[in-house]
């Protein structure tokens, strides 16, 4: 494979491309490299490749012309990638795709970036190596070169090496061990000494699943998992991320349709649907709060029907979904109940179709690692100001750019719970 590197700093690549397996691959002509410096394609006395940005602002911008001339000088361009933070995230799937090519050209930006017109004038694919900003595209280009080249047949000694690595099957890799057998009192797992290749392969698969679940659970969504893999994942001991998450549904003080503060009636669907979501996501509990005694009594009758009455005999799943639904008077009672159960006061977060968020979803996930978090939902037209005032923060509204966002409270609860927890068990 031939790589053309368009860069203002050709010397940057000298050492990394000569080291280790890459150096060997170069010697064996498995890979070859050419650097092309846009500065060589300038015509002015100062050999300028950049200029000040139109519209003002800091930094300089790389000009189109020297860069285009540099590109046009390349005899075998192949797919042409522009290193750019806005580009397609570079991952193992893209690495595999690029490893099929015979030639690749990598354009390394510098300064504030490149005149945007280059993308209209040349067939260029922007690619990012991560959500952070580097000084230039050279470091990212090295990542791409290395990840792609090592997938070429015969780059690595054993062809199996690349097929068993992290991401190759959508999972992270299993742990490795080498001599000595016991180190600082730590033993190599016995199975690896057994010589039983089938058992070793099974153990490695299980460890890959375990490692992925522990470090990057979101990868599991796109991994190809067999029935045995799913069974193994379900059996793994783990702390459910949702165990610290609680939901509270307030029927007072909420806004009525006319915008006044009032009290709403219970909705049977809210009891069932939020209960089922709460159970599916392994939440700590679901609280229904109403100050009206007859409404609480009604809630208890409905719950009793499904938990121990006739409903339980026909639909045992529903009894399980409603097992952790609690009926209380108000937000204060929810807070007290969680404090009693967990020994910690919950972080109380309001949800609203409007309003400026004060807490980001990432912060909720972090809080869930060490303390209970209560998401409070308002029935009617949402939580009244006096309810909002009792909370510790406001989550971002759902569909904040939509001109219509009148979701039912049970839909909103399901979406918020999923946004916080997703399938990251
Ligand atoms: C200082 S950066 C310019 C950042 C740009 N002003 C911005 O805010 O997106 C200079 C060059 O580094 C490269 N670069 C920086 N971060 C990158 C990343 N995460 N992925 C790919 N290339 C990157 C690009 O080629 C970019 O043109």
Provide the pLDDT for residue 271: 98
422 DSSP assignment: T
Mean pLDDT across 276-300: 97
Provide the pLDDT for residue 317: 94
How confident is the model over 127-147, as pLDDT tens digits? 999 999 999 999 999 999 999
Q: How far is the CA of 109 from the centre of ligand 1 (A)?
A: 7
Q: Is the pLDDT of residue 287 over 70?
A: yes
Number of domains present in the structure of the chain: 3
Largest CA distance in the chain: 91
Domain of 372, in residue numbers: 241-421
Assign 168 a pLDDT band (cuts: 50, 70, 90).
confident
Residue nearest to atom 11 of ligand 1 (CA): 136
Q: How far is the CA of 8 from the centre of ligand 1 (A)?
A: 14
> Does some domain include residue 356?
yes
Provide the pLDDT for residue 286: 98
Assess whether 41 and 68 both reside in one domain: yes
Assign 304 a pLDDT band (cuts: 50, 70, 90).
very high
Percent of the chain with pLDDT over 90: 90
What's the whole-number average pLDDT of the chain?
95
Query: How far is residue 3's CA from residue 160's CA, in Å, rounded to a whole number?
Result: 25
Residue where one domain finishes, among candidates 206, 235, 264: 235
330 DSSP assignment: S
Assess whether 72 and 27 both reside in one domain: yes
> Does some domain include residue 133?
yes
Assess whether 39 and 122 both reside in one domain: yes
Residue nearest to atom 5 of ligand 1 (CA): 112
Assess whether 53 and 120 both reside in one domain: yes
Mutate to test the pocket of ligand 1, among 85, 94, 118 (most ligand atoms within 8 A of CB): 85
Q: Is the pLDDT of residue 162 over 80?
A: no
Assess whether 230 and 245 both reside in one domain: no
Q: Is the pLDDT of residue 47 over 80?
A: yes
Which helix (H) or strand (E) segment holds residue 125: the answer is strand 125-128
Assess whether 30 and 61 both reside in one domain: yes
Residue 109 assigned to a binding site? yes
Mutate to test the pocket of ligand 1, among 12, 83, 107, 108 (most ligand atoms within 8 A of CB): 83
Q: How far is the CA of 234 from the centre of ligand 1 (A)?
A: 41
Assess whether 224 and 245 both reside in one domain: no
Residue 195 assigned to a binding site? no
Assess whether 53 and 195 both reside in one domain: no
Residue 129 assigned to a binding site? yes
Provide the pLDDT for residue 423: 79
Cβ contact 325:303 at 8 Å: yes
Q: Any residues with Cβ below 6 Å from ligand 1, and which?
A: 83-85, 108-110, 112-113, 128-130, 132-137, 140
> Does some domain include residue 168?
no
> Does some domain include residue 358?
yes
Task: State how far the alpha carbon of 186 is from the alpha carbons of 80, 178, 210, 424, in Å.
Answer: 49, 12, 20, 31
How confident is the model over 317-340, as pLDDT tens digits? 999 999 999 999 999 999 999 999
How confident is the model over 62-117, as pLDDT tens digits? 999 999 999 999 999 999 999 999 999 999 999 999 999 999 999 999 999 999 99
How confident is the model over 200-237, as pLDDT tens digits? 999 999 999 999 998 998 899 899 999 999 999 999 87
Assess whether 225 and 261 both reside in one domain: no
> Does some domain include residue 72?
yes
Q: Is the pLDDT of residue 363 over 70?
A: yes
**Of residues 424 and 298, more confidently modeled:** 298
Which value, in Å, is the radius of gyration of the alpha carbons in the chain? Answer: 29
Query: How far is residue 176's CA from residue 373's CA, in Å, rounded to a whole number?
Result: 38
Q: Is the pLDDT of residue 159 over 70?
A: no
Q: How far is the CA of 115 from the centre of ligand 1 (A)?
A: 13
Task: State how far the alpha carbon of 109 is from the alpha carbons of 166, 273, 308, 394, in Å.
Answer: 29, 52, 67, 40
Assign 157 a pLDDT band (cuts: 50, 70, 90).
confident
CATH number for the domain harbouring residue 223: 1.10.1270.20
Q: Is the pLDDT of residue 158 over 80?
A: no
Assign 160 a pLDDT band (cuts: 50, 70, 90).
low
> Does some domain include residue 154?
no
Cβ contact 247:377 at 8 Å: yes
Q: Is the pLDDT of residue 35 over 70?
A: yes
**Of residues 115 and 156, more confidently modeled:** 115
CATH number for the domain harbouring residue 117: 3.40.1280.10
> Does some domain include residue 32?
yes
Provide the pLDDT for residue 300: 98
Q: Is the pLDDT of residue 238 over 80?
A: no
Assess whether 265 and 279 both reside in one domain: yes
Residue 131 assigned to a binding site? yes
Query: How far is residue 7's CA from residue 341's CA, in Å, rounded to a whole number?
Result: 61
Q: Is the pLDDT of residue 250 over 70?
A: yes
Assess whether 217 and 259 both reside in one domain: no
Mean pLDDT across 296-309: 97
């Amino acid at each position: 494979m031939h790589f053309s590197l368009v860069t203002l700093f050709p010397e940057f690549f000298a050492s990394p491309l000569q080291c280790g397996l890459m150096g060997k691959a170069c010697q064996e002509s498995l890979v070859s490299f050419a650097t092309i410096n846009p500065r060589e394609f300038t015509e002015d006395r100062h050999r300028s490749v950049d200029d000040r940005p139109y519209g003002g602002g800091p930094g300089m911008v790389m000009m189109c012309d020297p860069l285009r001339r540099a590109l046009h000088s390349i005899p075998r361009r192949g797919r042409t990638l522009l290193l750019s933070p806005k580009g397609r995230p570079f991952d193992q799937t893209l690495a595999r795709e690029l490893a099929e090519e015979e030639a690749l050209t990598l354009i390394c930006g510098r300064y504030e970036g490149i005149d945007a017109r280059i993308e209209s004038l040349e067939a260029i694919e922007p690619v990012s190596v991560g959500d952070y900003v580097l000084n230039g595209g050279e470091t990212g280009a090295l990542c791409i070169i290395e990840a792609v080249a090592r997938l070429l047949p015969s780059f690595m000694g054993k062809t199996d090496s690349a097929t068993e690595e992290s991401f190759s099957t959508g999972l992270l890799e299993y742990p490795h061990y080498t001599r000595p057998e016991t180190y600082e009192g730590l033993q190599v797992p016995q199975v690896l000494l057994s010589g039983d290749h089938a058992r070793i392969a099974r153990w490695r698969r299980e460890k890959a699943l375990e490692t992925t679940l522990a470090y990057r659970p979101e990868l599991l969504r796109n991994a190809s998992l067999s029935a045995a893999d799913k069974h193994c994942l379900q059996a793994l001991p783990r702390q459910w991320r949702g165990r610290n998450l609680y939901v509270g549904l307030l029927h007072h003080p909420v806004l009525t349709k006319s915008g006044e503060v009032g009290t709403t009636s219970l909705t049977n669907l809210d009891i069932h649907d939020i209960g089922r979501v709460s159970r599916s996501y392994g939440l700590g509990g679901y609280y229904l709060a109403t100050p009206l005694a007859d409404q609480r009594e009604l809630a208890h009758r409905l719950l009793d029907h499904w938990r121990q009455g006739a409903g339980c005999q026909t639909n045992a799943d529903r009894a399980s979904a409603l097992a952790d639904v609690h009926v209380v008077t108000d937000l204060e009672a929810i807070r007290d109940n969680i404090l009693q159960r967990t020994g910690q006061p919950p972080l109380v977060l309001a949800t609203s179709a409007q309003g400026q968020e004060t807490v980001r979803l990432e912060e909720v996930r972090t809080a869930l690692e060490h303390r209970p978090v209560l998401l409070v939902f308002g029935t009617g037209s949402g939580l009244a100001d006096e309810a909002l005032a009792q909370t510790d923060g406001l989550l971002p509204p759902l569909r904040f750019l939509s001109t219509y966002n009148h979701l039912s409270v049970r839909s909103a609860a399901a979406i918020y719970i999923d946004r916080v927890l997703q399938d990251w068990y």
